[in-house]
Every structure is written in C-alpha cells, then in structure tokens.
C-alpha cells in the first residue's frame, strides 16, 4: 500500500485530521524561511496531539549536523528529511536517525543522482520539484522519467522512492499509477492557506492515492 505523508503541519488539529484520514506520517518544517516553519513549543504541541503509529518527520535544509541531532533528541524525532545540499558524509553523521533525502527532478540527470544517493545509506529518497520552481506553478514534475521501467533501466535503485512536487487530490491517482512510488508527500496541495490544511482535501487525497494504488496492484 502506498504510504502518505502530509507535510507542513503547523497545527495540532491538522495533525489529528491527517491521522484520522489514514496518513502514515506528518512533516514538521524546521526551515525558518518557510511559511510552514514550526518552533519547538509548537512542535511539542503537535506531537502531543498525534496518535500512535503516525511518524513525525522533521524537515531540515542545510542545517548543521549537531543542531539536527540536538533538535531531534529534544523533541523526540527519529526521522528527518533533508532538502538542501547535504552530502552522503553528512547523512552518515546523522546516524542513528532515519534519513530521507530530497532530490530535485529537472531532467534525466536525476538518474545519476539516484545512483549516487542509493549508496549513501538513506532510508528513502523524496523526489521533488527544484527549489527554484515557482510555488504557484501547478505543473507536476516529469513523471515519465520516474516510472518503474525508467528507474530500473536507467539506475536500478532499490531505495524506496517518495513522490512529491505539485501533488493534489486531482492528480495524485495518475501519479501513483504512473510512478508506483513507495510513498507520496503533499503540503500545499491540501491547504486552504500556507500551513492550514483542509479536512476534505486531506481525505480526498488519501482516498485517491490509496484507490489508485489498490487498482494498480490488482491489475
């Protein structure tokens, strides 16, 4: 079954909505420049409201290793997601934390990046839009580069792939059927405004993703 992460959670009630809809994980942004940034006290409030068996993920970008380690220990986070220019050595230094590394998908250069990071000890790779992409751009990523056949032929990685970048309730089913990812990740696509989630959009996103995965598996 495809896993679903609801990222950019800023309110405890949204964490509960995501969990109730069946999300496997939530993302807590620790990048100060982001409109979805959450400080330590708010993170604690969100985690206190989160039911068991839903994984909280701290999202960082080019943050010093020791700062991530301190933050994770202080807040009780076991999984982190990296969105900057971090190196494989940087990832190794974060052990024993579980690390998801985000990679931008622009063109066929993604295959070389996947080959390199597949040997870096990451638990999963998140495929996202480039950071230079306009946040308001509704166009999804080039999914045709990320089909199981293309990945197998061009780089052969077996690291779990999480698809992000422009997903919405309207396109996630098509993305899941085409890419067959381990998981999908959504933030702005299920929001009323930055950091404020919409209950109906969350439910629809989960339903569409899981139905598409079930149908593809059955077929």
Number of helical (H) and strand (E) elements in the chain, helices listed first:
8, 10
Rounded to whole angstroms, how far apart are CA atoms 73 and 84?
21
What is the rounded distance in angstroms from the CA atom of residue 219 to the CA atom of residue 214? 9
- Options 7, 14, 185, 213, the catalytic residue: 7
Helix (H) or strand (E) holding 80, with range, is strand 79-82
Q: CA–CA separation, 22 vs 28, rounded Å?
A: 17
CB 195 within 8 A of CB 4: no
Is 155 known to be catalytic?
no
**What's the Cα-to-Cα distance from 59 to each of 28, 82, 89, 117, rounded to whole Å?**
6, 6, 18, 18
Rg (CA), the chain: 16
Can you tell me the distance from the alpha carbon of 34 to that of 61, in angstroms, rounded to the nearest whole number? 11
**Looking up tokens 């496997």, which residue turns up?**
24
Contact assessment for residue 170 and residue 139, using Cβ atoms and an 8 Å cutoff = no
CA distances to 36, 54, 71, 78, 152 from 43, rounded to whole Å, are 12, 15, 11, 14, 38
**213 is annotated as an active-site residue:** no
Catalytic residue from among 14, 128, 185, 213: 128
Q: Which residues are catalytic?
A: 7, 128
């Amino acid at each position: 079954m495809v896993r679903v992460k609801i990222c950019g959670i800023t309110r405890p009630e949204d964490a509960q909505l995501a969990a109730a809809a069946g999300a496997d994980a939530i993302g807590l942004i620790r990048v100060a420049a982001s409109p979805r940034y959450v400080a330590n006290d708010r993170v604690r409030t969100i985690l206190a409201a989160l039911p068991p068996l839903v994984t909280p993920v701290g999202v960082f970008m080019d943050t010093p290793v020791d700062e991530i380690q301190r933050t994770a220990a202080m807040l009780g986070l076991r999984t982190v997601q990296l969105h900057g220019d971090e190196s494989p050595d940087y990832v190794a230094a974060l052990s024993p934390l579980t690390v998801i590394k985000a990679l931008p998908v622009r063109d066929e250069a993604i295959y070389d990046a996947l080959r390199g990071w597949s040997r870096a000890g990451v638990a999963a790779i998140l495929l996202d839009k480039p950071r230079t992409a306009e946040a308001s751009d509704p166009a999804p990523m080039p999914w045709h580069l990320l089909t199981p056949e293309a990945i197998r032929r061009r780089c052969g990685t077996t690291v779990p792939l999480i698809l992000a970048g422009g997903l919405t309730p309207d396109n996630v089913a098509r993305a899941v059927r085409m890419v067959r990812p381990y998981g999908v990740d959504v933030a702005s696509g299920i929001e009323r405004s930055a950091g404020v989630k919409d209950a109906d959009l969350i439910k629809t996103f989960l339903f569409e993703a899981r139905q598409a995965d079930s149908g593809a598996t059955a077929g």
